[in-house]
Amino acid sequence: MASLTQFNLAEAIAVLTRTPATLNALLRGLPNIWVRCNEVKDTWSAFDIVRHLIFGERTDWMPRVLIMLENGEARPFDPFDRFKQLKESQDKSLEQLLDDFARLRRENLAALQALNLQHEDLTRRGRHPALGVVTLSELLATWAVHDLTHVHQLSRVMAHQYRDAVGPWSAFLGVLRCTGHSAP
Amino acid sequence: MASLTQFNLAEAIAVLTRTPATLNALLRGLPNIWVRCNEVKDTWSAFDIVRHLIFGERTDWMPRVLIMLENGEARPFDPFDRFKQLKESQDKSLEQLLDDFARLRRENLAALQALNLQHEDLTRRGRHPALGVVTLSELLATWAVHDLTHVHQLSRVMAHQYRDAVGPWSAFLGVLRCTGHSAP
């Protein structure tokens, strides 16, 4: 299995552990232009992205690990509703959201480590409602890369606010030419 | 001047102040796969990106601010050699580089604030060796967006290391479809 040879649980946990502090350092206390503004209509601000990450901690990653370990391919994961979280936590400050995310991630990583997964467990299989059969290592790798895809998005959404302010330097600033890479 | 209406010095400084702590939270202590690996030949690892940011603090941003304030359009900026830094700091650890970057950024922001720039100063003009006439507000906005473009790049280079490990989820992870947006 090609994907397994590249996956290492400790390495994935190293990324997952750092994301709350990274977002905290990047976002806490920033003026509203950086955290409340988005790109175009119906795209996400930094606020929305942190709420999305919180929703994933609550409903997606560890719940799917447990469904996979308990049911294998017999029970598909519950679909992940990427828009439901936008109706939740509307009245929280960014500081509260960052605190919530840090706490939930800490609890989830403690639960993951309590499973004491062995190398052979990483090939355990489950069923994704759209993608079909997936492995535990693929799910855990995706959890880490999902963090990175939202760091990627955050930097792009923030840079977008100064797309005109940089004047002719926009030619040299790759992030301003990124149009996003959402799934079709 | 359209670009000036969007620029606010305090907002730009808010981003510039946070970047060292963001990189520190994201990178310090990570296993080598995340910080020593790049995408393809001749692209940058996290190590190279931090060295590039250090080089910018030493030779680019504040030196250009001072050239602009002292000489206006009469003296073009010195060209920024993006490859020279790759010959420097080869033997430093990532932790040393992160400390160097944090110290240099702190010193440069102190020097910037000591200039006590007024709103009218932001329209002062200088000459970029390739882009022609630019304003002080454009230079300062670019300094902040340049940080963000490298956060964008860092998340992409890191995610690339797990491009196979995520299996079929790669279809949903935008950062894995980003091919970079370097200037032509």
Q: What are the start-end ranges of the H helices in chain B? A: 2-6, 9-27, 32-35, 46-59, 61-71, 94-114, 136-160
Can you say whether residue A41 is alpha, beta or left, with left for phi > 0 and alpha for psi between -120 and 50 degrees? beta
Distance (Å) from the C-alpha of residue B89 to the closest C-alpha of chain A?
A: 24
Type and span of the H or E element at A50: helix A46-59
The span from the CA of B165 to the CA of A143, in Å, is 11
Do B162 and A33 count as a contact with CB atoms less than 8 A apart?
Answer: no
pLDDT higher than threshold 90 for residue B126: yes
Inter-chain CB proximity B142 and A176 less than 8 Å? no
User: Shortest CB distance from A131 goes to which of B141, B169, B176?
Assistant: B169
- pLDDT for residue A179: 79
pLDDT of residue B182: 66
| Smallest CA–CA distance from B27 into chain A, residue | A18
User: With bands split at pLDDT 50, 70 and 90, how would you rate the model's confidence at A85?
Assistant: low
Residue A126, helix vs strand vs coil: strand
**What tens digit of pLDDT does each residue of B15-36 get?**
999 999 999 999 999 999 999 9
**Residue from B15, B19, B33, B60 to probe the interface with A (highest A Cβ count within 10 Å):** B15
B22 and A25 within 8 Å at the Cβ level: the answer is yes
Q: What is the pLDDT of residues A56-76, one digit of tens each?
A: 999 999 999 999 999 999 999
Instruction: Kindly indicate the confidence band of residue A1, based on its pLDDT and cuts at 50, 70 and 90.
Output: very low
Residue B2 has pLDDT above 50, yes or no: no
pLDDT at A3 over 90: no
Please state the ipTM of this predicted complex: 0.94
- Which residues of chain A neighbour B168 with C-beta distances below 8 Å? 128, 131-132, 134, 138
d(CA A149, CA A144): 9
Using the predicted structure, report yes or no on whether residue A50 has a pLDDT greater than 70.
Answer: yes
- Per the CB < 8 Å rule, is A14 touching B29? yes
pLDDT of residue B132: 96
Name every chain B residue with its beta carbon within 8 A of the beta carbon of A161.
Answer: 6
Task: Tell me which chain A residues have a C-beta less than 8 angstroms from the C-beta of B26.
Answer: 18, 22, 151
From chain A, pick out residues whose CB is under 8 angstroms from the CB of B164: 2-3, 6
Task: Tell me which residue in B134, B148, B178 faces A159 most closely, judged by beta carbons.
Answer: B148
Residues contacting residue B45 through CB under 8 Å, at least 6 positions apart: B35, B36, B37, B38, B157
Record: contact B11-A34, CB cut-off 8 A: yes
**Is pLDDT larger for residue B80 or for residue B27?**
B27
Q: What is the pTM of this model?
A: 0.94
- Please report, rounded to a whole number, the percentage of residues in chain A having pLDDT higher than 70: 92
Of residues B86 and A20, the one with the higher pLDDT is A20
Structure-block tokens of residue B176: 């894995």
The pLDDT value recorded for residue B184 is: 42
Q: Which residues of B touch A155 (CB under 8 A)?
A: 148-149, 151-152, 155
Residue B4 confidence (pLDDT) above 70: no
Averaged over A93-100, what is the pLDDT?
A: 97
Using CA coordinates, name the residue in chain A closest to B3.
A165
Question: Encoding tokens for residue B157?
Answer: 């280079």
CA-nearest residue of chain A to B158?
A148
C-alpha B150/C-alpha B60 separation (Å) is 15
Greater confidence, B61 or A88? B61
Residue A22 pLDDT level (bands cut at 50, 70, 90): very high
pLDDT for position A91: 87
> What's the pLDDT at B123?
96
Query: Chains A, B: CB contacts under 8 A, how many?
Result: 208
Q: Are the beta carbons of A148 and B30 closer than 8 angstroms?
A: no
Which of A6, A156, A169 is nearest residue B152 as measured by Cβ atoms? Answer: A156
DSSP E strand boundaries for chain A:
125-128, 132-135
Output the DSSP codes for A146-172.
HHHHHHHHHHHHHHHTTTTTTGGGGGG
The nearest CA of chain B is from the CA of A90 a distance in Å of 24
